[in-house]
Structure 1
Amino acid sequence: MTEMVDKVVAITGASSGIGEATARLLAARGAAVVLGARRSDRLDQVAADIVDRGGRAEVCTVDVTRRADLERLVDTAVTRFGRLDVLVNNAGVARLGPVGDLDVDGWSAMIDVNVRGVLNGIAAALPVFRAQGHGHLVTTLSTSGLTITPTQAVYAGTKNAVRTLLEGLRQECTDGALRTTSISPGMVRTEFSDRIAESWTDRGAASALTDAVAELGMAPDAVARAIAFAIEQPDDVEVGDITIRPTRQG
């Protein structure tokens, strides 16, 4: 835990679920956290709770599809705490259904948030990491990109695009100044799963997903602990990939 003290960590999608759990855990272990999401009222509540418990937190309203918002998130960390050690690219969306449904708007939303949003985060953080001589990109992916199943083709495609991107970036940065970590969670009990079910036109499949997550899903704290593990490693150690899922998930 000593490796977490005084780390400065910015987190997107921090208003609920995995992002919120990660912010709370890292702050409890001594990190200063900068919380980014679109729901500013919820961010304020999470940050106030962290501060009330003796932690350090700042908030920044962020839509990851807007590059300027990510730049503002990074600038907030540097201005308030003097640097940025870790950017957790956690914001994401999912619209499930057969490709043949031609949900073009849903495809665009997933590409904009899941791919372009990560690229915007990299573009904002990488110059700071280079100037400091160190930095860590942690990105939430999904087991959907590891086990390909019907109805998840486009969603899994966005996650695998980012997986490829991060591996290429890792190989380009061999001077020790950048670490990259991909976290692939399985079923997690969060609002994210609820939103997937709400947007799914196949109500039977949506109901089955809701029931499966309720029965099998992990608490978001489990993923937060995996993220903390990767961050807490010594600077010369990189945890490249973590797959974390319920023991009963097929």
Structure 2
Amino acid sequence: MSVPLRPIDQQVVVITGASSGIGLVTARMAAQRGAAVVVAARNADALTQLVAEVRGQGGRAVAVVADVGRQEDVARIAAAAIAEFGRFDTWVNNAGVSIFGEIPEVSIEDMHRVFDTVYWGVVYGCLQAVEHYRARGEAGAIVNVGSLFGDRSTPIQSTYASAKHAVHGFTDALRVELRHEGDPISVTLVHPGRIDTPYNEHAQAYTEAQPAHRGMIYPPEAVAEAILGAAAQPVRDVYVGAQAKAVQLAGALVPRTVDWIMSWYMWPTQLDPNREAVPRADSALWHAGYGGQERGSHVGWHRKGSWTVAATLHPVRAVTVGAATTVLGLLSPRLLRR
């Protein structure tokens, strides 16, 4: 079923978790491309600064201080969008927080809190979006930000990974139900790999070492590109980084091998032994963390973009560029010999 979505410069885009990281970058990029943005998070100061920045550049924005783990707060986000702009066209469920610690160490209360934000926040946001699109009788988009750990769980972040698994399952079910009912609603699941955001600084750490990605790391702009691409053209899934797709495939095809690899690989690549972890009282699990920052403090190979995003959203362009690069690579030795 084809879903006719508006171009980004004609859209009102709701973004949760917009005070830092992926949400902040997505809000800035959406506003720069002409969209009106409704930004939501728990950090009031960061949202106020973001709205002032967007408006100062001639854009349209409104902020809603909200905890997506509370259904009434999510309802206020939708109400604010309608009150300010009369509608919204894309709803981006992005808010998230993690815990780093082995399963027996993590409190049940902290586990519940992660699920409130990571899973129930998505459910509440999707319900608001579906209700609004059905009431308007027009097409709309829902973009849920999942994770490579929603395709294959990881040790140390078991609660976060489990919540993302739930997000992936809910998204699949929602997509099929909407199709069955004939609703013109595009539902996209974004699968980010390891992304350079303050996610590690905001996490609740039961570990002595500071949580940090160590390895291949992608910029938040790559995820924002995936989100905004999905807002304007219906697409089922977007993998941000080849690592995300590789983990999904390997987990499905050779799960025992992946178990073995993760048993030794995931401890050193999720922690920085040279730094002490942020105290749990200062984490963003139970209260707003610091805002206004796009990037975190990760240690690794920082990529400039993601070919998987380009290949999904712009397949013709990706094939053309790839073919041209291959041809130039084959011809260059011959040209140098002349």
Distance 1:89 1:23 in 2: 12
Can you list the C-alpha shifts for 1:11-66, whole angstroms capped at 9, x where unaligned?
11001110010001011111110010111111010111111112111111111111
Per the TM alignment, residue 188 of structure 1 is displaced from its structure 2 partner at its CA by 1.5
After the TM superposition, list the runs of 4 or more consecutive aligned residues in structure 1 that deviate by more than 4 angstroms: 246-249
Asked if the contact 1:140–1:182 (Cα under 8 Å) also holds between the matched residues in 2, the reply is: yes
Match of 2:177 among 154, 172, 175: 172
Letter in 1 for 2:235: V
Structure 2 residue aligned with 1:240, among 236, 259, 264?
A: 236
Alignment pair present for 1:153 and 2:149 = no
Alpha-carbon distance in structure 1 between the residues aligned to 2:106 and 2:48: 38
Give the 3 Å change call, closer, same or farther, for CA 246–16 of structure 1 in structure 2: farther
1:195 and 2:237 aligned: no
Q: Is the 8 A contact 1:98 1:152 kept in 2?
A: yes
1:106 aligned partner, one-letter code: D
> Contact 1:51 / 1:57 at 8 angstroms: preserved in 2?
yes
Establish whether residue 27 from structure 1 lines up as the match of residue 31 from structure 2: yes
Partner of 1:210 in structure 2? 212
Equivalent residues, number: 237
Does the CA-based 8 Å contact 1:217-1:246 persist in structure 2? no
Report 1:24-103 matches (<5 A).
Answer: 24-103=28-107
Q: Matched residues in 2 for 1:242 and 1:170: separation? A: 15
* Distance in 2 separating the partners of 1:54 and 1:25: 13
* Residue 10 of structure 1: aligned partner: 14
Supply the AA of the counterpart residue of 1:48.
Answer: A
Conservation of the 8 A alpha-carbon contact between 1:16 and 1:191? yes
**Alignment partners' CA distance in 2, 1:162 and 1:68:** 20
Which residue, out of 192, 198, 215, partners 1:185?
A: 192
Match of 2:326 in 1: none
Unaligned runs of 5+ in 1: none
In the TM superposition, 1:213-224 aligns within 5 A as 216-224=216-224
For residues 129-140 of structure 1, the aligned pairs below 5 Å read 129-133=133-137, 134-140=139-145
Quick check: 2:100–2:207 contact (8 Å CA) kept in 1?
no
SS at match of 1:173: helix
Report the Cα distance in structure 2 between the residues aligned to 1:65 and 1:4, rounded to whole angstroms.
Answer: 28
Residue 211 and residue 160 in structure 1: after superposition, are their counterparts in 2 closer, same or farther (change >3 A)?
Answer: closer
Contact residue 22 and residue 224 of structure 1 kept, 8 A: yes
Q: Distance in 1 between matches of 2:194 and 2:111?
A: 21
C-alpha distance in 2 between matches for 1:231 and 1:86? 6
CA distance in 1, matches of 2:230, 2:160: 25
The two structures, once aligned, show a CA RMSD in angstroms of 1.9
Amino acid at match of 1:182: L
Question: % of aligned pairs identical?
Answer: 36
Contact 1:11/1:23 (8 A) holds in 2: yes
Question: What does the per-residue CA deviation read over 1:57-101, in whole Å, with 9 as the maximum and x for residues that have no partner?
Answer: 111111111111111111111121111111101111111222222
Query: Are the counterparts in 2 of residues 9 and 85 from structure 1 also a CA contact under 8 Å?
Result: yes
